[in-house]
Amino acid sequence: MDPHEIEDTSDWLGSPSRLETVQHYASVLEEDIQALKRELRAAKENIAGLVKMNDELSADLTRARAWLANREAETTVQLGEI
């Protein structure tokens, strides 16, 4: 087949050039990166919230254990008096 017999479609209307294709792909990647950054930011906020909740629950647990230890000590003293 002679080279002049091969149909060249590069100048067809609506066919993107190589540069246009690369630019489109780059814009798609940029959008994906921005979406991932938003998801990462939201995940970090969620983690910070969970850490805060854990700290509060740990403090509550410590207070509850101290209260229980005091009640046990009072009960032991009262039983000793009986």
Residue 24 belongs to some domain of the structure = yes
pLDDT less than 70: residues of the chain: 1, 3, 8-12
Query: Taking the model in full, what pTM does it have?
Result: 0.61
Q: What pLDDT score was predicted for residue 3?
A: 67
User: Is 50 within a domain?
Assistant: yes
Residue 35 lies in a domain: yes
Q: How many domains does the chain divide into?
A: 1
Distance of alpha carbon 58 from the chain centroid: 24
Check if the beta carbon of residue 15 is closer than 8 Å to that of residue 9.
Answer: yes
Instruction: Tell me, yes or no, whether 46 lies in a domain.
Output: yes
**Has residue 44 been placed in a domain?**
yes
Residue numbers of the domain that contains 75: 18-81
pLDDT of residue 76: 87
